[in-house]
A and B are shown apart, each in its own frame.
Chain A
Amino acid sequence: MEPWSWASVWQRSRRNWHWPLLPPPRVALQGQDEAEQPGQFPFRNYQITLDRETLSLGPLYLEGLFDHLIAHYIFCPRSLDEAALLARSALEGLKSPDPDRARGLVNIFSDIVVDSLRLEKSSEDREKVLLGWRRLAEQSDLEELDRVVLGLLRNYWEADLRFSDRPEVALLERIFSAGFRERSLWPRQCRQMARILEPLLPGILGQGPVRCQEILNGCADAAPLAGAENLEPGQYTRVLAALGLEGDLVRWYRDQSYSITIREAPRSRSEEHPSGPERWRLTDPCSELDAAYSLSLSPRLIPGVTTYKRGREWGRMAPLGRGVPDLLVVLDSSRSMEGHRLGSKTHRATLAAFKACRYAHSKGAMLAAINFSEKYLAVPWTRDLSAVERALVEFFSTRTHIPGKAVRDLAEERPGCLILCITDTHIQNLYQEWEEMERAARTGSFVLFCIDQDYKDRHVEEALAGLGRVYYINRLEDLVSMVVEVTGRAYAGESFIS
């Protein structure tokens, strides 16, 4: 028998899949040597990890395993977004949504999809694919879930596997008979599979982490998750938990704000700039004559013949750099703002504040934030965006008392700063704090977003108009776009700050 190494099997698998860019596997040592692996990262998620038991199963099994893993990373679920979509579908299908069960179901679903792909696309791969499933079928401690999945594969692949004749097999077969390549079908298929398999959970199948590239590369914590804007905070946390990640309100808002774009208006300036030499004539001012250049071309200066001057042209040029105003966000988190849930005033206001902060931060501005209700939380001027975001997601849910002095103090520290105040204007101490607010508004540029149009008071409206720019938001959906527009104008386009 020819000697073999797992490294050559890995290369063969990569060749089978057209050389995907994946980190090489590592062999996990067991026992005392486990902790000592010189020159290796201690993080297991940066590598595909093999153990001695897997290696002992021979090169064909190992190649099948590598092919299976590679297919996970390049086909299903492939990316964190796709994995999150499947996890969400699995959670929706479960009567009692549990992240661990959802993870198991995503793994089972993606296992079936990738092995069906391998099986369909290459007749030579059939033996390799079935090797792993036959090994599972031989285990003595199979649960009902595993038997049902094996029963499905037996019928679906026409494979010789131990099977179950439970009615769930036919229902699962119906799901997969619609095909497995169509990504748009996957959420429906996964959701339906969760409905069918929920009573049979758990089993041997489906254990381990969800296989997607971001998790493999260790960057899943920082990768934005598409679709967060359709999930309630609780759902979002459960989806991330199913992927083995930790989700919180800050990440929820951050992931939603990525998809909001601030369109930067192109700016330019028109200015005169020097161009090539032109003939100097007697009618031109003497000061324009470039004597050195003219003499370099001819030893005699003959006006209009051997005399030259520098030509000048008008044209559009890149704008000059200009200072950006620092940003102070004053956010209302009183009870009337309704709290952190999709579509609430707090949700829209915090999302708008997040986007404004992130954009101002990217432009080099310093940030400060005040989150107020009856008490308040203030973050002094900083470049630490996370600190500001953490302060903004606090929800006090008490009465509305604007901390005028704190706003004034922060504004006076950075004269000319942009003050974005987002509130539903049920401010109970507005007149007590009026002087402070006026002084703060004089120091910086005050922009107020009043969410609750119905409670608009004519006297308050007139008073507020004296502070600076006031926007009354009729439809809550407009708040984010209004704040984004104002921020975009302050930092990117023509400044409205006069």
Chain B
Amino acid sequence: MATFLLHRLALALPTLFFVSVLVFGLQQLLPGDAALALAGEERDPAVVAFLRHKYHLDEPLPVRYVLWLKGVLAGDLGESIRIKRPVRDLILEKLPVTAELAVLAILIALSIGLPMGILAAVKNDSAVDYAATMTALWGRSIPNFWLGILLILLFSVEWGLLPASGFVSPAESLSRNLATLIMPAFVLGNALAAVLMRHTRSAMLEVLSADYVRTARAKGLSEAQVVLHHALRNALVPVITLGALEFGELLSGAVLTEQVFTIPGFGKLIVDAVFNRDYAVVQGVVLCTALAFILLNLVADFAYALVNPRLRG
């Protein structure tokens, strides 16, 4: 197992290096003089000169990369040009909002995707299976920003049951917090539920035809015991690993969902930064999401190695 884990870690290091090159390289895409672009519409010469000095824009590219990387490794992601605050502080401030939204979305996805996946596998090739497959197809195809708009039309405009936008901190009022997050969490969870359902269904179909499941049935165990105690436990292992890969999709979805429901999270931060030409914030958010993705996948690899006897060595 140690060899496997060391191998995964060794692979993560060059990936991290290329992520840093990619994120740094984004700034090179700015057309023309980067200092002018970063200075915004006013283009005050003093600001341009300050930015040129601050970002070492008169230095050669490799030197600028090394200087930028040194800052990042020291926790300095730059400063927001608009808000005049460190990017790191902005990200840390917005992160809990998106994290809460993501956790709620995962819970919704689990409560829809898992039972549907199990049912579809147990009742393979039946009406239930086709219904579940169609639901998964719907989840894959519906644009989540449109689903959000439809829910607002129905639950806020038409029935007046839920607030259409905004965010209330759980510390302020838990019930109002949940009322503001339930629709966006459902929108975000809907697409994840479709993926989860497909993974669970195929993993369960494979496990249900395994010898040990047949043995469990032959011992006279009830179908519920066979499915829930024997099959599901083993089917969930690849589902959890694949679920970690969906983290990126969840964050992509959060960008749009937060925009539709005006939730001041991580996603809204990057969109606002794009329109304010606050490029340091855009770079900071991209870097943090990539780091989180790599870290989460390493954790998933570790978890997989722990539960998979073939890797215990």
Real binding pair: no
Give the B-binding residues of A (Cβ under 8 A): none
Q: Which residues of B contact A (CB under 8 A)?
A: none
